[in-house]
């Protein structure tokens, strides 16, 4: 389990290319991450200098660090026909090896450099991923594959650097892998019992708990209507 690279970005203003495509409209984003070549401070709100344009859905203590596995990159290079996908292409802060969704669990605690971090939730990719790579259904593709990545909250701050190995310190919720959480959220929308069970995981992020508790009391038709509304707002 290794931290291969670290990426951060300030908020950037991307100008319209005036192509008429929805992804070419002007927008503000912190998605274009650049490599950090030296040690960097990791605080409770994330890496020093890293910014998010929309703080309603990105950043904050529960989503301090976005993590993505290098193991997924060959699949996306072939699937999307994009030969050059640099580390950070999925907007992640940490590009890693050995931390796959099938093997990482909610609540896992790791040491990395001077810091101690904990898995808080799967990454739930938004429309900005599709916009960055100009692939309209990329967000849906990521959800279907389960190659979502996940987030860390920071339990103890400190400096971190690329090339460092992760050490697993605690696994309090071995029954709740990232892969299973993704399955319940994205592929078992009508399973109210599973939604309620996952929502009771004390170490899951508050936003996922709220969504799952709401789902546990909604009909499938209600859920689909809400999903359509969210999709319409994004486009």
Measured CA to CA in angstroms, residue 75 lies from 50, 82, 123 at distances of 27, 10, 18
- pLDDT for 163-178, tens place per residue? 999 999 999 999 999 9
Query: Residue 26: what pLDDT?
Result: 73
Helices (H) then strands (E): counts for the chain: 7, 13
Of residues 71, 86, 101, 89, the one with CA closest to residue 186 = 101
Is the pLDDT assigned to residue 79 strictly greater than 70?
yes
What are the residue boundaries of the structural domains of the chain, listed by start?
2-177
Structure tokens at 102: 């099938």
Is the pLDDT assigned to residue 234 strictly greater than 60?
no
CB 52 within 8 A of CB 25: no
Q: What is the 3-state secondary structure (H, E, C) of 63-128?
A: HCEEEEEHHHHHHHHHHHCCCCCCCCCCCCCEEEECCCCCCCECCCEEEECCEEEEEEEECCCCHH
- pTM comes to 0.89
Handedness of CA 25, 26, 29, 32 (dihedral sign): positive
Query: Residue 231: what pLDDT?
Result: 57
Does the domain formed by 2-177 have CATH 2.40.33.20?
yes
- pLDDT for 181-228, tens place per residue? 999 999 998 899 999 999 999 999 999 999 999 998 866 666 676 666
Antiparallel, parallel or unpaired: β 94-97 and 65-69: parallel
Query: Residue 30: what pLDDT?
Result: 82
Query: Residue 227: what pLDDT?
Result: 66
Query: Residue 82: what pLDDT?
Result: 83
Antiparallel, parallel or unpaired: β 167-170 and 46-47: unpaired
Query: Residue 40: what pLDDT?
Result: 98
Measured CA to CA in angstroms, residue 76 lies from 69, 71, 99, 116, 201 at distances of 12, 10, 17, 30, 31
Structure tokens at 109: 């605690």
- Phi/psi at 51 (5° precision): -130, 155
Of residues 44, 138, 19, 35, the one with CA closest to residue 93 = 35
- The pLDDT of 9-31, averaged and rounded, is 78
- pLDDT for 87-113, tens place per residue? 999 999 999 999 999 999 999 999 999
Helix axes 192-199, 206-216, angle to 10 degrees: 150
Is the pLDDT assigned to residue 232 strictly greater than 70?
no
- pLDDT for 42-75, tens place per residue? 999 999 999 886 766 677 899 999 999 999 999 9
Q: What is the CA radius of gyration of the chain?
A: 17
Distance CA 65, CA 44 (A): 9
- The pLDDT of 7-12, averaged and rounded, is 92
Query: Residue 194: what pLDDT?
Result: 96
- pLDDT for 116-143, tens place per residue? 999 999 999 887 888 888 888 999 999 9
């Amino acid at each position: 389990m290794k931290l291969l690279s670290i990426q951060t970005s300030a908020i950037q203003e991307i100008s319209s290319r005036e192509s008429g495509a929805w992804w070419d409209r002007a927008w503000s984003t912190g998605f274009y991450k650049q490599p950090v070549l030296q040690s960097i401070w990791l605080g409770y709100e994330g890496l020093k200098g890293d910014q998010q344009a929309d703080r309603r859905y990105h950043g904050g203590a529960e989503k301090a660090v976005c993590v993505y596995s290098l193991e997924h990159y060959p699949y996306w290079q072939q699937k999307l026909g994009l030969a050059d996908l640099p580390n950070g292409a999925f907007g992640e802060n940490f590009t890693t090896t050995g931390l796959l969704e099938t093997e990482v669990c909610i609540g896992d605690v790791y040491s990395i450099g001077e810091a101690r971090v904990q898995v808080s939730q799967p990454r739930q990719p938004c429309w900005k991923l599709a916009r960055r790579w100009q692939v309209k259904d990329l967000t849906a593709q990521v959800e279907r594959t389960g190659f979502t990545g996940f987030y860390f909250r920071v339990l103890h701050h400190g400096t971190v650097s690329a090339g460092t190995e992760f050490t697993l310190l605690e696994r309090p919720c071995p029954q709740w892998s990232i892969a299973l959480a993704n399955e319940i959220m994205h592929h078992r929308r009508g399973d109210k019992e599973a939604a309620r069970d996952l929502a009771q995981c004390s170490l899951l992020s508050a936003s996922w708990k709220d969504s799952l508790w709401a789902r546990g009391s909604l009909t499938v038709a209600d859920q689909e209507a809400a999903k359509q509304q969210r999709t319409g707002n994004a486009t």
